[in-house]
A and B are shown apart, each in its own frame.
Chain A
Amino acid sequence: MKYTDQGQKDTRSGFGDGMTELGRTNPKVVALCADLIGSLKLETFIEEHPERFFQVGIAEANMIGIAAGLTIGGKIPFTTTFANFSTGRVYDQIRQSVAYSGKNVKICASHAGITLGEDGATHQILEDIGLMKMLPGMTVINPCDYNQTKAATLAIAEHDGPVYLRFGRPKVANFTPIDQTFTIGKALHLLEGTDVTIAATGHLVWEALIAAEALKEKGISAEVINIHTIKPLDEEAIVHSVEKTGCLVSAEEHNYLGGLGESIARTLAMHKPAPQEFIATKDTFGESGTPDQLMEKYQLNAPAIVEAAQKVIKRKA
Chain B
Amino acid sequence: MGRYVARRLLQMIPVFIGTTLIIFLMVHVLPGDPIRAMWGDKAADPAQVASLRHEFGLDQPLWKQYIDYMVDLFKGDFGKTFGGRPVSEEMGMAFPVTLRLAAVALTIEIIVGIGLGAWAGLKAGRAVDTGVLIFTLIVISMPVFVLGYLARFIFADELGWLPPNVQDSMDLQQLLLPGFVLAMLSMAYVARLTRTTFAENLRADYMRTALAKGLPRRRIVGVHLLRNSLIPVVTFLGTDVGALVGGAVVTEGIFNVQGVGNLLFKALGQREGSTIVGVVTIFVLVILVINLLVDLLYAVLDPRIRYA
Is A bound to B?
A: no
Residues of B at the A interface (CB closer than 8 Å) are: none
